[in-house]
Structure 1
Amino acid sequence: MQIELEYEHGNFIDLELQNINYFVGPNHTKKWKLYRGIKRFSTGKNLSELEEHVYGDDGIVIFCDGEKVKSKDLPIYYLDCRESFLHHYYENKGSLMAKEIQAMGEIFELGRGIERINNEFLTFENQLSELFIEKYKHVQPTLRSINFSDISKYFLQLSFFEDEVTYPVEMMDIEKLIDDYCCLLMNEIERTQKMTWLWINNPNAFMSKKIFCSFVGKLSICAEESGLLNVFILSEDYLELNYNEVDLESTVLLYEKHQQIPSFNVLKKSIERHYPDELNQTDRELISRLFRVFPYIGKFKNDRDNIYLRDKDIVLLKVVDELLGYEYELNLQKDYSDLTILESKYLIDQ
């Protein structure tokens, strides 16, 4: 599916949609505008006059295969900090847990349980009436029946249970909740049967690399099984994941321009033609190296001194930069002891 995402009036980022999609590169501004616009789109509310100056009179536009999408037809969820993750474990309106609890109200066994509670209410009401009769001539108490909504609103309290100790929800460790989160998300997708998007912004800021790698693996399984989930990951730096060829083709580089990475075979052949020496590495190693250099592609000249890469990755960065039409102007005072003679000469020749 080809999608077009508007991040400013008339400005779009287009890509071939995959299960897991990556937005990487040094253009922080474009990533932020994209994320900001998608979040605003998902509210479904009309734009203010000031917002119309940014997005235009027709609002924020998303196209899927050329068709304009309405926010009500596209559930979108976000993770950008610890609180955004925990939000879905509260009973707040719109959270995944609130939707899960609401759906539980349709379970037959729970309905029977509420009937039994209401029967007990009748018994209690009779006891209360007897006390009123002793005191008042004309006033009698009546207890209304309760329903599942009453229970979830007034009586239900969620807590976090670990090592035989109960904690408030806000104390939960999000790294231990990724299985539950995937379960909540899949249950909601099964109920709605709608294409659903999950946007994750700068995961390194709120989740350990090891846990995030596991999380992405589980989300990939959810996307494959449901056929309705698409995940979008925006990152300012390198994400330590087990990348493969599909991940490479699912990546959009955001620099002064933007570009979705072509198929691995096409990219590899281009790199081999321009690389100063033999690559002498496996495809998996090359893919991992590419993701290490992507955050620096087309990086502005003044920021070049802040690049921290391995020697051979610096060579690869120069090759990819030049493939994108950038002149390489990185001045590094360093002994490239790990490079071949041809690789060293390639870096020196500006």
Structure 2
Amino acid sequence: MDIAIEYEHGKYIEFDGDEITYFLGVNHEIKWKLYRGLKRFSTGKNLSDFEENVYGDDGIVIKCDDKKMKAKDLPIYFLDCRESFLEQYRYSKGSMVQKYIDSMEDDFQVNRQIESINDDFLKLEVGLQNRFSQVLTHVSPIIKPLTYKEMIKYFLELSYYENDIPYPVEMMDISMLVDDYCRLLKAELIRAQKKTWFCISNPSAFISKSIFPQFIESLKKIGKETGLLHIFIMSDDYFVFPFKGQDIPNTVILYDSYQQLPDYGNLVESLARYYPNEVEFNESDLTRSLYRIIPYIGWKTNTNEVYLKPKDMILLKVTSQLLNCFSPIKCTELEDELSELERKFLLS
């Protein structure tokens, strides 16, 4: 699917994506504007006069295969901190828990149980009326039947149990939320039957590196099973993740410009043309090295010193040349593992 997202008036990020897209690189400003714009778009509200100065009077434009999308047709969920996990577990407007609970209003078994409660209410009403009749001649009590919405409004509380003791949901560890979160998301996708975007910003800031890969695999599985989910991951820094060669064409690098990477085979051919000597790439090693150096493509500081392994430094310089992004980079240490040609290449 060809996707175009407007992050400022007339400025777009355009890329091809269906399952997952990674937005990485040194241009944190564009990533922030992209994330900010998606959040604003998801509200579905008209722009204020001030916001029109940023996005134009035609609103925030998102296109999928040249079709201009509307917020009501493209639900977007966001994760950028621990609180953004928890808000989906509160019975509040728009949360996944709220939608899931509301969806049970027409459930046959639930309605049978409510009818049973109302039958007991009716018995209680008769008993109260008999008591009233012993004292009052003209006034008699009536108990209104219970509805599902009233039950949720007045009696619902959400909690979790630890050692058989109930605690507020807000006290839960994120590691305890992930599996249920995925089940809630899948239930909502099946209910709504709408193409849905799921945006994660700087995951290393709020979710552990041991849990995150499992979480993404679960989201991917949901996407494959439903055909309705596209995952976006934005990160300002390198984050530990088991990237594979198949992730490379799903990666958009943001620097002075931006570039979506080609598939693994084409990337290897391009890198080999720029490499200082003949080289045979191992897919696993190259992929790990590539994602280690991406946060430094186009990176500029006062010293321009980058502390990476020498082989990573070679790849950084080659990739920068390939992207026509010639950043002044100083290599702080040249170890013996480099060939003479590689050493000269780094020092040139």
Check the 8 A contact 1:301/1:329 in 2, yes or no. Answer: no
SS of 2:302's equivalent in the other structure is: helix
Match of 2:99 in 1: 99
1:29 aligns with 2:29: yes
Aligned-partner Cα distance in 2 for 1:95–1:208: 24
What number of residue pairs does the alignment pair up? 348
Residue 151 of structure 1, CA deviation: 1.6
Structure 2 CA distance for partners of 1:98 and 1:244, relative to 1, 3 Å: same
Give structure 2 stretches of 5+ with no counterpart: none
SS of 2:253's equivalent in the other structure is: strand
The within-5 A match list for 1:32-47 is: 32-47=32-47
1:115 aligns with 2:115: yes
Aligned-partner Cα distance in 1 for 2:15–2:234: 14
Aligned-partner Cα distance in 1 for 2:292–2:193: 37
Match of 1:12 in 2: 12
SS of 1:4's equivalent in the other structure is: strand
Match of 1:170 in 2: 170
Aligned-partner Cα distance in 1 for 2:287–2:185: 30
Residue 164 of structure 1, CA deviation: 3.1
Farther off after superposition, 112-121 or 280-289: 280-289
Aligned-partner Cα distance in 2 for 1:203–1:294: 17
- Superposed CA deviations along residues 299-320 of structure 1, whole A, max 9, x for unmatched, are 1243733x33222111111111
Give structure 1 stretches of 5+ with no counterpart: none
Aligned-partner Cα distance in 2 for 1:303–1:221: 44
SS of 1:105's equivalent in the other structure is: helix
Match of 2:335 in 1: 336
The within-5 A match list for 1:108-187 is: 108-187=108-187
Letter in 1 for 2:319: V
Residue 279 of structure 1, CA deviation: 3.5
- Superposed CA deviations along residues 145-201 of structure 1, whole A, max 9, x for unmatched, are 111111222111111123433221001111122111111111111111110110001
4+ runs of 1 displaced by more than 4 Å?
none
Match of 1:248 in 2: 248
- Superposed CA deviations along residues 112-138 of structure 1, whole A, max 9, x for unmatched, are 000000111111222222343344443
Letter in 1 for 2:252: V
Residue 323 of structure 1, CA deviation: 1.1
Aligned-partner Cα distance in 2 for 1:343–1:11: 39
SS of 1:103's equivalent in the other structure is: helix
Match of 2:293 in 1: 293
Structure 2 CA distance for partners of 1:304 and 1:120, relative to 1, 3 Å: farther
Aligned-residue Cα RMSD (Å) equals: 1.5
Q: TM-score normalized by structure 2?
A: 0.96
Check the 8 A contact 2:19/2:229 in 1, yes or no. Answer: yes
Identical aligned residues as a percent: 48
Farther off after superposition, 56-65 or 163-172: 163-172
